[in-house]
Amino acid sequence: MDIAPYLLLATLEGLVQASVLMLTALGLSLVFGVMRVVNVAHGEFYMLGAVGAWLCATLIPGHPAISFAVALIVAPLIVGLLAALADRAILQRINYNPEATIVSTIGISYIIQQLTLMTFGPDARAVDPPFYYNIRFPWFGYSSYKFFIIGVAVALVATLWLLMKHSKMGLLMRATQYDRETALNFGIPVGRVYSAVFAFGAMMAAVAGVLVVPNSQAHYLMGHDPLLMSFIVVIVGGLGSIPGTIAAAVLIGLSDGLLSVFFSPTLAKIASTLLVALVLVFKPQGLFGKAGRI
Amino acid sequence: MSVMTVEGFDAFYGRSQALRGFSVELRGGEVLCLLGRNGAGKTTALKAIMGTIRRTAGRIVLDGRDLSALPAYEIPRAGIAHVPQGRRLFAELTVAENLEIGLSTRKSSRRALDYALGLFPVLTERMHQRSGTLSGGEQTMLTMARAMCIEPAVILLDEPTEGLMPSAIAGIREAVIRLRDNGVAVLLVEQRVDAVLPVADRVAFMDHGEIKARFTIDEVRNDLSLLHRYVGVGA
Ligand SMILES: Nc1ncnc2c1ncn2[C@@H]1O[C@H](COP(=O)(O)OP(=O)(O)OP(=O)(O)O)[C@@H](O)[C@H]1O
Ligand SMILES: [Mg+2]
């Protein structure tokens, strides 16, 4: 048996996983980095993105590419708005107290899950990919849609990076992240920056959710796994570090793909969880995090 | 005619009262020194002015405009700048980026930057250096320049000479005089009396969250025992 095709397939699968993971985890990391909020409801924003994609697919007639394009823009916007409201109505009121935010985001997560269940029911819903074209490799055909996922993820992450490093909004976010009080002293409306960051983080999860539906299915409980995996990535990569989060997502996505193809998905999950345990023991600030900067 | 009037500030940390009817008046182009022992409430008073800690009573007026009800981020926009205790630079950012944060709410940022750098020309050669690698004196200059980027009418300086070498202290003192000569009202918090005597126009002594006594600088110079009475010189 020739191993090369399997290796290629596993790598591709791993990269697709890594892309989705990278988007989701960066959202979580951004929110934690700037606001010091551990957002347990993050997986639900991902789920809402997926459900939004399904809703668009059922409501909008015509070619699946049209409803998909609409979903890719509208679902994240609605999810972002929802997140900003949650920030204003709940997180701001409890003053971003660390324990209270964990408990209340758990609450938000249940509310979103149950509302989705009550509205759309318990069934898993499939969505057609926007295009079916297969890319032929010598050994197998591979869905071009999966390459599209990788492309969108890379483009979005590059945009995020540029925004954080080179835009005024990014500078305000970084200033808020480093020192909230000093940011206030320079007229930066920290409350608004927080709402924007929380919305932005949720939107990244929602985009990942939209991207993933044609591959898997939309379901009200689908947020669990990405939440857990994002926590793993964020811890391994170093809390609040963008490059660390990207590197960890690729590392974990790839190893997940390889282990799943060659062994079993369960082993893959065991391996990533083990990695987290090791990182926490030997390098608690994360593989790429700087010691001393929380 | 005073630029800034602060009246009757009360503030609490939990149950303990940190400010009791704190009041000051500042005129343009003068330096008011706020002196007091450790824990007297000087830092708290400045934070209360900036609105970054909650006040339970009191009023603040700047240039005839009542700022009492504004959210914290509006205070610097109205024209009050703050140089916090312990500097609190963004150590990982460059000098230029630190100044950019100071400029972030300015409309004409070019003019404001020229103004700030004109007051602290030493920084112009260091624009791309990480601010954490500046010397202590330069870091203090940078925090002052960053504050001047908002072109304030009032600047609050919280122990800018803390932990500096005597030579650097002289530089800060000159900088304070430059600000004053530019018409800025300076509220200078210090513990070391010798650091303020040369620059102060008036002195206020603070203890247990309130101002216990106010003197002109001549009154203090003529009767140095005042210092013993209120702060204990050498402290
Ligand atoms: N965050 C806080 N929580 C509780 N108490 C505080 C807090 N900050 C200050 N205090 C208390 O309030 C009082 C005034 O503190 P403040 O920092 O204003 O004093 P200060 O005059 O600036 O002292 P120093 O000269 O040491 O800087 C002190 O008793 C201090 O212990
Ligand atoms: Mg102090």
For ligand 1, what atom is nearest to the CA of residue B44?
A: 18
CA B189–ligand 2 middle distance (angstroms): 8
pLDDT recorded at residue A266: 86
Cα B117-B123-B126 angle, rounded to 5 deg: 135
* Three-state DSSP class for residue A114: helix
* Three-state DSSP class for residue A97: coil
- Both tokens assigned to A92: 């701001």
- Both tokens assigned to A258: 């390889």
- Ligand closest to CA B40: 1
Residue B12 pairs in a beta bridge with: B17
**B112 near B151, Cβ under 8 Å?**
yes
Between CA B213 and CA B204 the distance in angstroms is 6
To test the contact with chain B by mutation, choose from A165, A186, A193, A293 the residue with the greatest count of B C-beta atoms within 10 A, namely A186
**What does pTM read for this prediction?**
0.87
Between CA A269 and CA B167 the distance in angstroms is 60
* B42 CB within 6 A, ligand 1: yes
- Is B73 within 8 Å of chain A by CB? yes
Q: Where are the domains of chain A?
A: 4-222
Q: Where are the domains of chain B?
A: 2-87+153-231
Residue B211 pairs in a beta bridge with: B206
Closest CB from A171, A183, A189 relative to B100: A171
**A244 near A288, Cβ under 8 Å?**
yes
CA A67–ligand 1 middle distance (angstroms): 59
For chain B, which ranges sit under pLDDT 50?
234-235
What ipTM is given for this predicted complex?
Answer: 0.89
> In this complex, do B92 and A178 lie within 8 Å of one another by their Cβ atoms?
yes
- Is B109 within 8 Å of chain A by CB? no
* B86 CB within 6 A, ligand 1: no
* B36 CB within 6 A, ligand 1: yes
Residue among A267, A282, A272 at smallest CA distance from A249: A272
The runs of H, that is alpha helices, within chain B are: 42-50, 74-78, 95-103, 109-119, 136-148, 166-181, 193-196, 217-222, 225-230
Decide if domain B2-87+153-231 falls under CATH 3.40.50.300: yes
The residues near B98 (Cβ < 8 Å, ≥ 6 apart) are B89, B90, B131, B142, B146
pLDDT in tens, chain A (294 residues): 688 888 888 899 899 999 999 999 999 999 998 999 999 999 999 999 999 999 999 999 989 999 999 999 999 999 999 999 999 999 999 999 999 999 999 999 999 999 999 999 999 999 988 888 888 888 888 889 999 999 999 999 999 999 988 888 898 898 898 899 999 999 999 999 999 999 999 999 999 999 999 988 999 999 999 999 999 999 888 877 888 999 999 999 988 888 888 888 888 888 888 888 888 888 888 777 664 343
For ligand 1, what atom is nearest to the CA of residue B40?
A: 21
* B13 CB within 6 A, ligand 1: yes
* B41 CB within 6 A, ligand 1: yes
The Cβ of residue A175 has, within 10 Å, a number of other Cβ atoms equal to 26
- Is B209 within 8 Å of chain A by CB? no
> In this complex, do A175 and B104 lie within 8 Å of one another by their Cβ atoms?
yes
pLDDT recorded at residue B233: 52
Query: Taking CA atoms, what residue in B is nearest to A171?
Result: B101
Test site for ligand 1: of B12, B15, B44, B50, most ligand atoms within 8 A of the Cβ: B44
**A243 near A9, Cβ under 8 Å?**
no
The secondary structure of A138-152, three-state, reads CCCEEEHHHHHHHHH
pLDDT tens digits for range A134-175:
888 888 888 899 999 999 999 999 999 999 888 888 988 988
User: Is the CA virtual torsion A61, A66, A72, A76 positive or negative?
Assistant: negative
User: Is the CA virtual torsion A142, A146, A151, A153 positive or negative?
Assistant: negative
pLDDT tens digits for range A94-135:
999 999 999 999 999 999 999 999 999 999 999 988 888 888
Tell me the shortest Cα–Cα distance from A102 to chain B, in angstroms.
24
| Type of residue found at A291 | A
* B39 CB within 6 A, ligand 1: yes
Q: Residue length, chain B? A: 235
